[in-house]
Structure 1
Amino acid sequence: MQLDNAAINALEKRYRAALINSVTGFKPANVVGTADSEGNSNLAIISSVFHLGSQPPLIGMIIRPSPVERHTLDNVLDTGSYTINHVASSFIEAAHQTAARYPRQQSEFVATGLTELYVDGVHAPFVAEANIRLGMALREHHPLAINGTHMVIGEIQWLDIPDACVAEDGSIDLAAAETVALSGLDSYHSTQRVARMAYAKPDLPPKKLDQ
């Protein structure tokens, strides 16, 4: 298949969405927990979560356009607090179900059977079933004029990672944490490390590290 820009834009809407959502490859699968100012919880699966920097520890995410209600974005902007929870293989079905358009008064935690977990100092709920959890504080919000999406930038305030999944150098073994990856809109994948490479230097050949 070879398509130019005109051919891409001429594709049937759902076909084009499936194609373009898949073409970038594997994406992180996370469920983002929020609560409004009155403590009513919300949970939504979001695949466009990305690293922005380590000092300060910044994570970005993209939230889709808002012609309909976007409870996650509203709660983040209202309270400045949210959580990012890695989807594990044990709760893929429940995580995927959070994409359904439940009414604002319906908590996705209750609807999907996932468990709210609260930590002192973080307003938003975590997902108890997740093995890796990040507590976030809103730092910047940028509506993107090009397509109506919203870029949210947050700073990590709290981390919960199983000790057995963290190497001596700080790297995380995501396979050991049972974190899954997402492709397209609805395909979930288990992960397995193929290789770990040494720091690249121009005067040295590529070198694999011990697993």
Structure 2
Amino acid sequence: MIAAIVRRVSLSNYSFRGSVLYSRMSASEATAEREAKIKRNPHGDFNEVQMSRPEFESDVQFHYTQTIDTKWVPGSGANSNEWQKYKKIAVDPYAEGRDPMNNYKLLIAGIVPRPIGFVSTESKAGIRNLAPFSYTTFVHHDPPIFCIGFASSVAQAKDTLANILETGELTINIISEWFVEAANYTSTNAPPEVSEWDVSGLTPLASKKVKPPHVGESAFSVEAKLVTHHEWKSKVDGEPNGTLVIVEGINFHIREDATNESFTTLDPEILKPVSRLGGITYGRTTQAFEMLRPSWADEEKRAEVQQALKE
């Protein structure tokens, strides 16, 4: 019995995942291990590949175009039949032998483009943290509700998550082209005592209703407070491995030349938002088209609609 007690004590700093024994690492150590497993860099020498590409096209200006098919009518379906040449493959996310990390790689490549929530927090000890999270979006407007997903448990919370759960306060900032390198640098797995504000060179501006500052370089920032959080457990080993936080926006900050007099819109030409694509790829927003939402009261009278309903 004594041997059993000793064994339990000696294993108290470890957990089993399948048949593998893992130590309960710090958040930064866990992130480093996870990044090593993901193997984000698809290139042998990234800098060599980077320098072989054309220079950044700074002269490309945001502009509007027509829609792809201006003559599209109800019932006519896709504007290209290219899709018919290919079969769709069903993939079970938990098929035998499939590593859940493959689902991560697939989903970040398929659910695109994703907005990047550039989140500023501050610990109770006063240490400021800044990091980007592409599992971010807003889900309601009255009240303004946002959600942020963290690929870490509460026990191994990343600094941003730990600060939000500890203080209940944060700011969410939109990343634009003119500071994308600095924003990306804050994604490093620095220890909690290191402030990403310092190593990125970005500018903290005082917020009005929360303690964490918002990013001066960002054209649109949201001050927010925690509403609730939910921890996810792996379907493979039952271990907590992710956390969702739901927050309420309580104050906005908008660059004056990017909005209108009623503060009801943002000019994409000024905002120049950067989005997250798959792997290590990011996207620019350089052109757009507009489409009206159809009103059924008007549409149901159209001959094309009546014909589509008969088929």
Judged with a 3 Å threshold, the aligned counterparts in structure 2 of structure 1 residues 126 and 9 are, in CA distance, closer, same or farther, namely: farther
- Partner residue, 1:54: 141
Structure with greater helix percent? 2
Judged with a 3 Å threshold, the aligned counterparts in structure 2 of structure 1 residues 21 and 91 are, in CA distance, closer, same or farther, namely: same
- Partner residue, 2:268: 174
Q: Which among 152, 159, 170 is matched to residue 252 of structure 2? A: 159
CA contact (8 A) 1:49 1:62 kept: yes
AA of the residue aligned to 1:195: F
Distance 2:274 2:93 in 1: 34
Q: Which among 85, 99, 103 is matched to residue 173 of structure 2? A: 85
- Partner residue, 1:111: 199
Distance 2:290 2:233 in 1: 39
Judged with a 3 Å threshold, the aligned counterparts in structure 2 of structure 1 residues 18 and 6 are, in CA distance, closer, same or farther, namely: closer
Per-residue CA deviation, residues 14-68 of structure 1 (Å, 9 max, x unaligned), is 6654332111120002210000012210011101111221111111111112364
AA of the residue aligned to 1:89: E
AA of the residue aligned to 1:199: R
Q: Bigger CA drift: 160-169 or 172-181?
A: 160-169
So what's the TM-score if we normalise by structure 2? 0.59
For structure 2, list consecutive stretches of 5 or more residues without a partner in the other structure: 1-87, 236-240, 300-311
Task: Work out the percentage of aligned pairs sharing the same amino acid.
Answer: 24
Question: Secondary structure at the residue paired with 1:18?
Answer: helix
Question: Secondary structure at the residue paired with 1:176?
Answer: helix
Judged with a 3 Å threshold, the aligned counterparts in structure 2 of structure 1 residues 134 and 106 are, in CA distance, closer, same or farther, namely: same
- 1:74 to 2:162 alignment: yes
> What displacement does 1:99 show?
1.6
AA of the residue aligned to 2:246: I
Per-residue CA deviation, residues 165-208 of structure 1 (Å, 9 max, x unaligned), is 33568233334212111112421211134222333321335xxx
User: How many positions carry a matched residue from both structures?
Assistant: 205
Question: Secondary structure at the residue paired with 2:170?
Answer: strand
Judged with a 3 Å threshold, the aligned counterparts in structure 2 of structure 1 residues 127 and 9 are, in CA distance, closer, same or farther, namely: farther
CA contact (8 A) 2:129 2:197 kept: yes
Distance 1:204 1:170 in 2: 27
- Partner residue, 2:190: 102
So what's the TM-score if we normalise by structure 1? 0.85
Q: Which among 278, 283, 307 is matched to residue 189 of structure 1? A: 283
Q: Which among 286, 290, 296 is matched to residue 202 of structure 1? A: 296
Q: Which among 108, 111, 115 is matched to residue 21 of structure 1? A: 108
For structure 1, list consecutive stretches of 5 or more residues without a partner in the other structure: 206-211
Judged with a 3 Å threshold, the aligned counterparts in structure 2 of structure 1 residues 185 and 36 are, in CA distance, closer, same or farther, namely: farther
